[in-house]
Structure 1
């Protein structure tokens, strides 16, 4: 009897060890972090800001994540936002050191800074005049000089937007004064703005609140440069048909935000509402694995190998999530001679222990 009980006990203890495979971590094994009351409060969905602009867009350029999109593909008059493409094409077609001369015909389009007939500036200077005080005559002078006629230059502008897949944008002039054939969309303007910001020469101009150039004090029409912290550009536009237009790019340690408003009745209030919403609710997180004893694995022969990511990871999260995000390195393939293109594991990004995203790890 005693022997039978012993055998039965042995079976009970041994059977669970078969058929279930080796022990491994499951979702339930991950340590779950508790959320603070403040985080729980921030989790509540906040309504998106209401803006007067019939077309608006709020996006995180780093990740491409759209936070707010309101009629973002609707065609709207662009006003002086047009000048961004005028400047882009001028840089592609001209030389910054070449001279451009204002003609009597150019002055039929009014000048905000008092350009006069036969005034000669370098293209560099004229682009400052075009973009900082947003002078209309400057646009005509640049277009006529580089294209032979303004119409030829505008044709180049339309070729440029078409080549970049901007199907809801078309230009009829180089300055942006109202014209039925002059239109764009908030989405297209966001792409144009980011392209302009990728050009160092333009990025510097668009970030300049004021400067002495062309023998004048040029003051930027974009008040966000001095009234909203972190603003680095980019452009205003105002016309009767277009209404108030504004593109704003803000860079802060918390992350980057791009706001576009078209047809607004108060472009600054609208833009501030959009940007405040972003910085009140979102943050960028960046992940990289530098050289470190933590970022090594032991292969099957006991040798150490460094590992890392091909490129740093960036993700956009809600602000309440930042304190609950952790990373886990998992080595699945501890090979002795790892190939350059062969993943050896995975970096997992977890929110309170739950997976958010992952990326392959490679031996260095």
Structure 2
């Protein structure tokens, strides 16, 4: 951990002790050497994010924290076009993880899937022959790489029996992810008045796929895929222009415009951009690239605490132990403008009186981290171990002490 992170730990300790009178755990990591002063360029204000031209909505999100670094109309409902297929991939991966389907399943290219999304339509297609089967993993790659509408329908029918039933699964998983302004009616993204999402929700979806199902996500980096005699390239041209880009999905209809959900990883930092309703295939790529470059240049991600790391110890009444260690159940990360890490202001909100029994993982309070008066990270503080109730006489004595202290 860098000196700046250690400094933040000490600040958290001082804030916590001053507020509660409770000692902070002393098992913090050692402080390394003093960092060099920030370069002048790191102390200058961050310039505005490059606005993606005439795009209807756009967002740039930090993957590790979920923080929105920049955006416009991020909660405005828009047609997601073929970015819908990222949700289809997520459902397939989730159902596979649950043991309900297998990547070796033989998936039928039904006549309905072929007629609705195949080569005879205006949309993109995979080329799998009608009334023939193919392994699920191959059909999925045909959907992901070639953006095959026919493959999306065939997969939906295999997983849930029909597009309608599959859409119900999509909406259920979307709700679990936190996509509050999204509703799906099909697995491919062809226009429908009740089929919509937002730039913010789609960024959440991209983040969820990368985090939860990295193998399924990896298909998005495949540059071309062949079905029979037909080889088609991935429509995400950033895969060729920027080696740090490894996804995610393009989309286009006349109503939706040109759309692109992109993700790139440079070092330990990953960003996700979503551009909806742009004016051309090239412009959606140019604008997405500009957003990613801007984000990597002016922001950085730090881990403040690991999961299970003790943040503080709190006095405990009527317990077999007289104190309990507090920490976070998941890693606490924060994205900050470069050069502003030391300006983070931590606070802890914990009860003044805590009485046993305490269950391991029980929420005790909250830790918040603010920058320039705005909360940029917030996590529950939980008990890192269980503490059982003490015996009768200790409980009686503590009852008296609690009464005495309240006078």
Question: What is the match of residue 194 of structure 2?
Answer: 181
Does 1:84 pair with 2:86?
Answer: yes
* 2:256 aligned partner: 242
Q: How does 1:1-364 map to 2 (within 5 A)?
A: 38-39=40-41, 42=44, 44-52=45-53, 53-91=55-93, 92=95, 94-108=101-115, 109-111=117-119, 112-197=125-210, 198-211=212-225, 217=231, 219-253=233-267, 255-265=269-279, 266-286=283-303, 314-321=333-340
Count of matched residue pairs: 319
SS of the aligned residue for 1:106 comes to helix
**Whole-angstrom CA distance in 2 between matches of 1:146 and 1:287:** 41
SS in 2 for 1:116: coil
The CA distance in 1 between the partners of 2:36 and 2:173, in whole Å, is 52
Structure 1 residue 200, shift from structure 2 partner: 2.6
Q: Which has the larger radius of gyration?
A: 1
Paired residues of 1:254 and 1:279 also in contact (CA < 8 A): no
**C-alpha distance in 2 between matches for 1:64 and 1:100:** 35
Q: Is the 8 A contact 2:271 2:295 kept in 1?
A: yes
Q: Is the 8 A contact 1:59 1:258 kept in 2?
A: yes
Q: Distance in 2 between matches of 1:322 and 1:141?
A: 49
**TM-score under structure 2 normalisation?**
0.63
* Change beyond 3 A, Cα 1:51–1:161: same
Q: Sort the Cα spacing of 1:164 and 1:214 in 2 relative to 1 into closer, same or farther, 3 A.
A: farther
Contact kept in structure 1, 2:128 and 2:227, CA below 8 Å: no
State the Cα deviation string for residues 318-357 of structure 1 (Å, max 9, x = none).
22346999xxxxxxxxxxxxxx99xxxxxxx9x9xxxx99
**Aligned residues: CA RMSD:** 4.7
Contact kept, 8 Å, 2:42 with 2:338, in 1: the verdict is: no
Structure 1 residues 201 and 38 mapped into 2: Cα distance closer, same or farther (>3 Å)?
same
User: Does the 8 Å CA contact 1:126/1:214 hold for their aligned counterparts?
Assistant: no
Q: 5+ residue gaps in structure 1?
A: 1-31, 290-306, 326-339, 342-348
Q: CA deviation at 1:309?
A: 7.7
> Which secondary structure state, in structure 1, belongs to the residue aligned with residue 222 of structure 2?
coil
The farther-off stretch of 314-323 and 148-157 is 314-323
Deviations along 1:253-306, one digit per CA (max 9) or x if unpaired, are: 2622111111112211111121121122111234579xxxxxxxxxxxxxxxxx
Q: C-alpha displacement at 1:187, in angstroms?
A: 1.2
